[in-house]
Amino acid sequence: MNTMKAVGLTRYLPIDNPQSLVDLVVEKPKATGRDILVKVAAISVNPVDTKVRAPKEKVEEVPKILGWDVAGVVEETGPDCSLFRPGDKVFYAGSIARQGGNSEYHLVDERIVGRKPVSLSFAEAAALPLTSITAWEVLFTRMSISQDPDPNKGKALLIIGAAGGVGSIAIQLAKQAGLTVIGTASRSETISWVKSMGADYTINHHDTLLPQLQAIGFTNVPYIFCLNALEKHWAGISEAISPQGVVCAIDDPTSPLDLKLLKQKSVTFVWEFMFTRPVYETDDMIEQHLLLNRIADAVDHQKLKTTLAEVLGPISAENLRQAHKFLESNRTIGKIVLEGFD
């Protein structure tokens, strides 16, 4: 067959509108160059999906397909591929500059694809790629934290918004690197989740950060990773960060940040956007392939666990609208996954 099922949009509408995400039948792509064609088994949703889908005036002539977390099986490889063969089980996040993976088949550059963890189902694996890449790049690339636990003894990382998908992986990776992890959470269920991921302490992101840190024995912390509401927490971050510390953020602030608050402490501030490598096809793009393979090894050796929280059912417009609604509530814990097509 030369067609496939997909879920996409032509207009950018509020998620309550049934036309915000619709079931489609589109042309099945072919693999060329270094692309592989993957038969999609399971997908996960991320805040980036809702940000891309957010209401705006633009209308797409060709339906736009979202979805940047996929687990599946290689169906076909382009002539320049060397990393995978048909039949290989894979997982990946893809590129925001291309069509997403909410479709029966998906084209992706092999350099940003990893082997699926053997010990996980496709649904469990689909929960991991985007968040794992983000958390890994934040800790070990952007913040230059050592993966060797010895230099990190006695050092603490504060993760603001720790119960989501990225925070759940960041907690686990930071613990493996020997850091003391403090995660923010405000509800009993999110506190329990954050602790189950391995956090040493939790504090409430609705309250002032520094007094809570002081109450558990920290005058400041050398590393702060902020996942959301950066402008809301900015003053608190500037108070809580250690002199010569490092702050990393991934969200989009709605108002300008006063970087002068960090000057006196000579604090480093860095951004992380996990699509930078694939969008710009950087020389080190293959690092994401290597990174995902390391994540798969860690999972298979029981050093990391999936952050799957809920499987909503098969991949359909109705189920994806429900998933987007959950994400937009800002109350999700872990990752929401959809599996297979009807």
Residue 102 DSSP class = -
| In the predicted structure, residue 3 carries a pLDDT above the cut 80 | yes
Mean pLDDT of all residues belonging to the chain? 96
What pTM was computed for the model? 0.95
- Mean pLDDT lowest among 27-36, 127-136, 229-238, 325-334: 325-334
| In the predicted structure, residue 151 carries a pLDDT above the cut 90 | yes
| In the predicted structure, residue 5 carries a pLDDT above the cut 80 | yes
Q: What is the pLDDT of residue 330?
A: 81
Taking the CB of residue 171, how many other CB atoms lie within 10 A of it? 29
Q: What is the pLDDT of residue 254?
A: 86
Tell me the torsion sign for CA atoms 123, 69, 100, 76. Answer: negative
Q: What is the pLDDT of residue 140?
A: 97
Three-state DSSP class for residue 295: helix
Residue 97 DSSP class = T
| In the predicted structure, residue 1 carries a pLDDT above the cut 80 | no
Q: What is the pLDDT of residue 342?
A: 81
* Count of alpha carbons within 13 angstroms of residue 181, beta-carbon side: 28
Domains located in the chain, CATH noted = 3-130+277-339 (3.90.180.10), 132-271 (3.40.50.720)
51-83 pLDDT per residue, tens? 999 999 999 999 999 999 999 999 999 999 999
How large is the average pLDDT for residues 299-314?
93
Cα-Cα-Cα-Cα dihedral of 134, 137, 139, 145, to 10°?
180
- Report yes or no: 169 and 198 within 8 Å, Cβ to Cβ: no
- Which residues of 132-261 form beta strands (DSSP E)? 156-160, 180-184, 201-203, 221-226, 241-249
